[in-house]
Amino acid sequence: MADRIYNPNPELAKKAHCKSMQQYKTMHEKSIEYPEAFWGEIAKEFYWETATSNDKFFSYNFDLNQGDIYIKWMEGATTNLSFNLLDKNVKCGNGEKIAFYWEGNDPDDYSKLTYKKLLQETCMFANVLKSKGVQKGDRVAIYMPMILELPIAMLACTRIGAVHSVVFGGYSSDSLAERIMDCKAKVLITADGVFRGEKLLLLKNICDDALTKVKAHGHEVECCVVVGHLRRLANPHGKITGETKNGVNGTSNGGSSEPNVSWDDDRDCWWHEEMEEAEPSCYPVWVAAEDPLFILYTSGSTGKPKGVLHTTAGYLIYAATTFKYVFDYKPGDVYWCTADIGWITGHTYVVYGPLANGATSVIFEGTPFYPHNDRYWSVIDKYKVNQFYTAPTAIRSLMKFGDELVKKHDLSTLKVLGSVGEPINSEAWLWFYNHVGHGKCSIADTFWQTETGGHVITPLPGATPMKPGSATFPFFGVLPELLDEDGRVIEGEGEGYLVFRRPWPGMMRSLYGNHDRFQTTYFDRFHGFYCTGDGARRDADGYLWVTGRIDDMLNVSGHLMSTAEVESVLTEHSDVAEAAVVSKPHPVKGQCLYCFVTPNEGRIFSKQLSDELKRKVREKIGPFAQPDVIQHAPGLPKTRSGKIMRRILRKIAIGDKNVGDVSTLADEAVVDVLFQLRP
Ligand code: ATP
Ligand code: MG
């Protein structure tokens, strides 16, 4: 169905960092056979205060039978992240280059930050943190909107060796409190509030709630630094003209519509007041290669979130290398990743990867639908974006509005399109390719996880012939395998558990404060392998197709199927915007298919549509796959990062109101609606 091959645009391939499959294969082989030489060469592009010795460059144990799991890269080396990202770029003449364009929720709010200014702001805020008693190894929680102070706060932590834990600014006070307690943060950084579309979120008030809960549990956050973001929006929805305003460089207007922000004089302070006094330089703290860099919680799609721990040197070289090759970034390009910095995609591909390459990127505060449903296309047009990285959920929700909105804007600067977060169905892939990329851009369907730190299976834009829906081949240093139930390696074509045989530099090192959970979650199922928890299929050409969570696999009358396969067929129908499929126990077949379907804008859900869809699945996959139930779903339960939470849908399918942990759910109301609409 989707096995047609789309070759990279020859114009793009000619100038790409990786120009052909031959070159990719040679580089991949080298990265596997001689990891020290391969990554050692790349490490030379960065600054090391102390060098590593070659015999200690790389060591690990993936086999629980041999003892505890560990992963170490570049032992003995010392460095500083912010120094490599900022000072180095300024020193080599890029000080005046734009690091970030900031595009606010309101199209009239925008700003920009050069590398030089970013370095200065980072140093100043690092000094503020020091004045609050933050030292190397201390944890700093960050709960902020997509404003420039967010990367500044993260970089300031790295400047002094503090460990940041960014919590997505859409989480509830309970989720925030849980994460603050788990990492025992000393300081919390936030903003008074933010507008997302028309909606006002009073972040500081949510923080106060969270800090009260944290205190009740016996942990105390010593200080809360608050960016007066709403204060500087003189009139949040008013029109003010001017070159630059409301970003870091913008004027701070006392504010006509200052929000009601709760305050604790002993604990809270304003960011701008602290910065007034701060020194503009700060000598970097040199940290060891394996010192912690950050903690980040997974999306919670499958259960209780896990506090993934990443360390310094390996993460740096891996973020830098994947960014360069996967987006084929060149000096002068403008890159835009729509992910919130509160997710791993935002950490690696809004902050660390781009800055490590001296790149210019866009940070966007708003939503794809505000003020109109063409906001993404207008931002690409405005900044002449060359690489655009987003998620299937966004693509599907924008497809609903048809391609007229896309056509209104000039997207001719685009070269590479990226997708991440979920398997991308071929329908969405083709729409992205044809309508957004005009059939001339490469699509990087990047498979990776919070745990992997960076892309692990992905096409390279100038090299890899693409198949819609396939993440294709492993990145440098990555050695994937497919295993069957009994842990036997599946050679050639087949489907099984997706695992990795050995670590790459950017891989997680532990779950914070819980190495046991780390070992049992990822290394106990198959000894000697890192288990992703996802299933995948390898086709006759060796392409890898990630089919979704192992837990989401279906077994109908003895036929093993993945939900992604069925969903892909359902969304091919022109009336269907989104679909999610789960299994439901069945007395005869073992399991049967229960499908949730969201119709396109302006289309209605009907018995006729339901019958057509059943027929389609039977024709495309086989009679055994015919769904038993097709339910109307005006909306689907999603994590705040936009992923469908199938474990909740499984509960709805069987009518069990006991849906479990919903703390990471974006909108709880959809669950009730779906219970009501059960046929
Ligand atoms: P939790 O681990 O708490 O359940 P999560 O797995 O959703 O949450 P993330 O680390 O953000 O948290 O997501 C990684 C998962 O996203 C992968 O394991 C995979 O299931 C899915 N994924 C990401 N990118 C792709 C892709 N390109 N193709 C298919 N699946 C993808
Ligand atoms: Mg996961």
**Mean pLDDT throughout 515-536?**
96
Best residue for ligand 1 mutational test, from 447, 472, 646 (most atoms within 8 Å of Cβ) = 447
Contact 368, 376 (CB under 8 A): yes
* Centre of ligand 2 from the C-alpha of residue 298, in Å: 6
Residue nearest to atom 28 of ligand 1 (CA): 423
d(CA 291, CA 78): 9
Q: How far apart are CA 45 and CA 313, in angstroms?
A: 12
Q: Measure the CA–CA gap between 335 and 319, rounded to whole angstroms.
A: 15
Closest ligand to the CA of 458 = 1
Tokens of 395: 């693509």
- End-to-end, the C-alpha distance of the chain in Å comes to 31
pTM: predicted TM-score of the whole model, two decimal places: 0.91
Mean pLDDT, the chain, whole residue set = 92
Q: Give the whole-angstrom CA distance, residue 28 versus residue 25.
A: 5
Higher pLDDT, 516 or 260: 516
Exposed, middle or buried: residue 61 (CB in 10 Å: 0-12, 13-18, 19+)?
middle
Instruction: Convert the pLDDT of each residue in 332-385 to its tens digit.
Output: 999 999 999 999 999 999 999 999 999 999 999 999 999 999 999 999 999 999
The reply to whether ligand 1 has any atom less than 6 angstroms from the CB of 546 is: yes
Neighbours of 174 (CB within 10 A): 13
pLDDT at 539: 96
Query: How remote is the CA of residue 533 from the centroid of ligand 2, in Å?
Result: 7
Instruction: Tell me the CA distances in angstroms from 636 to 198, 578, 606, 627, 644, one per residue in order.
Output: 22, 9, 18, 18, 7
**What pLDDT shows up at residue 172?**
87
Residue 447 Cα to ligand 1 midpoint, Å, equals 8
Gap between the Cα atoms of 564 and 553, Å rounded: 9
Average pLDDT of the residues in 29-44: 96
pLDDT at 301 over 80: no
Are 213 and 173 in contact, with CB atoms under 8 Å apart? yes
Tens of pLDDT along 201-258? 999 999 999 999 999 999 999 999 999 999 887 445 433 333 334 445 433 333 445 5
Out of 643, 644, 648, 665, give the residue to mutate to test ligand 1, the one with the largest number of ligand atoms within 8 Å of its CB: 643
Burial class for 286, CB neighbours closer than 10 Å (0-12, 13-18, 19+): middle
Mutate to test the pocket of ligand 1, among 297, 301, 310, 348 (most ligand atoms within 8 A of CB): 301
ipTM, two decimals, is 0.99
Q: What torsion, rounded to 10 degrees, do the Cα atoms 244, 245, 247, 250 define?
A: 90
Q: Which tokens hold the place of 169?
A: 């600014």
Using DSSP, state whether 595 is helix, strand or coil: strand
Assign residue 545 a region (left: φ > 0; alpha: ψ between -120 and 50; beta: otherwise): beta
What whole-number distance in Å separates Cα of residue 531 and Cα of residue 62?
Answer: 10
Cis preceding-peptide flag for 585 (omega within 30 of 0):
no
Q: Is the CB of 390 under 6 A from ligand 1?
A: no
Which of 241-250, 465-474, 531-540 bottoms out in mean pLDDT, i.e. has the lowest?
A: 241-250
**What CA–CA distance (Å, rounded) separates 69 from 524?**
10
With the most atoms of ligand 1 within 8 angstroms of its CB, the residue from 322, 424, 534 to mutate is 534
* Residue with CA nearest ligand 1 atom 29: 423
Q: Which atom of ligand 1 is nearest to the CA of 471?
A: 27
Strands (E), 323-479: 334-337, 360-364, 387-390, 416-419, 442-445
**Nearest in space to 475 (alpha carbons), one of 7, 28, 13:** 28
Q: Say if ligand 1 is within 6 A of residue 444 CB.
A: no
Ligand 1 atom, smallest distance to 300 CA: 3
**349 near 343, Cβ under 8 Å?**
no
DSSP per position, 497-559: EEEESS--TTS--EETT-HHHHHHHHHSSSTTSEEEEEEEEE-TT--EEEEEEGGG-EEETTE
> Please, which pLDDT band fits residue 259 given cuts at 50, 70 and 90?
low
